[in-house]
Amino acid sequence: MSDSSRRIPLRATGLLAGFAALAAVTGCGAGAADSAPQGGGAGVTAAFYPLEWLAQRVGGSDITVTTLTKPGVEPHDLELTPQSVAGLEQTRLVLYIKGVQPAVDEAVEQHAADRNLDVATLVPTIEATEEGHEEGHEEGHEEAEHADEPGHEPGHEHEVSYDPHLWLDPSRFATVATELGERLAAADPAHAQGYKDRAAKTAAELTALDGELARGLANCRSKSLVTSHQAFAYLADRYKLHQVGISVDPDAEPSPARLAEVAEVAKREKVTTIFTETLVSPKVAEVLAEEVGAGTAVLDPIESKPATGDYLSAMRQNLTTLKAALSCT
């Protein structure tokens, strides 16, 4: 991975000036993720759950974190209310990933252009291809590179040319935690050590999780990850699995040709499980599973807050599900 000074766009550093007054406004009160922020609306706004979780862990009691996406809402389909958009005018920092939520991308550009951090600028991303097999790492990207790169495709995931689901690789998410700690420390020197300490602790937990996944998925009879939604490229890439996604857009009906193609792969590779996911109808996956003689299991892309537990426990549940489905020892 290249040096972080090369990967972080200069434009993102401009948010520090606008964020400098955060500590004075928010004080020491921690806010609930889905409640209105204290201190007149100042704080950090996270676009959806994984970023909310990370901001809370790194920010601790020194910031107030709110989220634009309520639990149980499919983030890709989020439509912002006028109140949510107005809130962006007050927040000190919007934490988001360009390409996940078109409504958020547009609102950030219009209402928080100098007070945002696109997390995808902090780590290497994986290119999304038309067939759904993601390949080819990028060294990170600048904001201007998002719109017009080769490989741009219509649909939620293809508002940008890379797969945005980077939080499903704990090693990348650990890098984001460290970088976020540094950003907050620079913006709020009075609480700098707290941000850095919490970032280091969070990064260590994510690194430990990465090790658990690596060990758990090292020896699997099957390496094929047939999913209803092409959301697991980072997980597959990190742990040497092969993702075969039915659809790029979780709400779109796949073409008959695509279904036939995935069915052929599933039969050839003797796939025993087709993975569905939370928040999205399992019908297409169930039809495919019946056709190829496979079962189904839920693999959580962790786009929304789990019903129980948090990001870490949801990732560990995914590991348990994968080990059983792929016959890992």
Residue spans of the domains in the chain: they are 4-209, 215-325
pLDDT in tens, 29-49: 333 333 333 332 348 999 999
CB 303 within 8 A of CB 74: yes
Q: Determine the average pLDDT of the residues in 207-213.
A: 98
Percentage of the chain exceeding pLDDT 70: 76
pLDDT in tens, 170-209: 999 999 999 999 999 998 999 999 999 999 999 999 999 9
Q: Which residue has the tokens 């020197």?
A: 189
Greater confidence (157 vs 232) lies with 232
Q: Which helix (H) or strand (E) holds 296?
A: strand 295-298
Q: How far apart are CA 298 and CA 40, in angstroms?
A: 40
CATH class held by domain 215-325:
alpha beta
- Let me know how many helices (H) and strands (E) the chain has, helices first: 13, 11
> Measuring CA to CA, how many Å separate 248 from each of 19, 115, 133, 252?
36, 30, 10, 8
In this chain, the answer to whether the domains covering 4-209 and 215-325 adopt an identical fold is yes
pLDDT band at 278 (very low <50, low <70, confident <90, very high): confident
The candidate with the shortest Cα–Cα distance to 250, out of 227, 234, 272, 273, is 227
117-121, 140-144, 249-253, 315-319: range with lowest mean pLDDT: 140-144
pLDDT band at 251 (very low <50, low <70, confident <90, very high): low
pLDDT at position 97 is 97
**Can you name the CATH fold of 4-209?**
Rossmann fold (3.40.50)
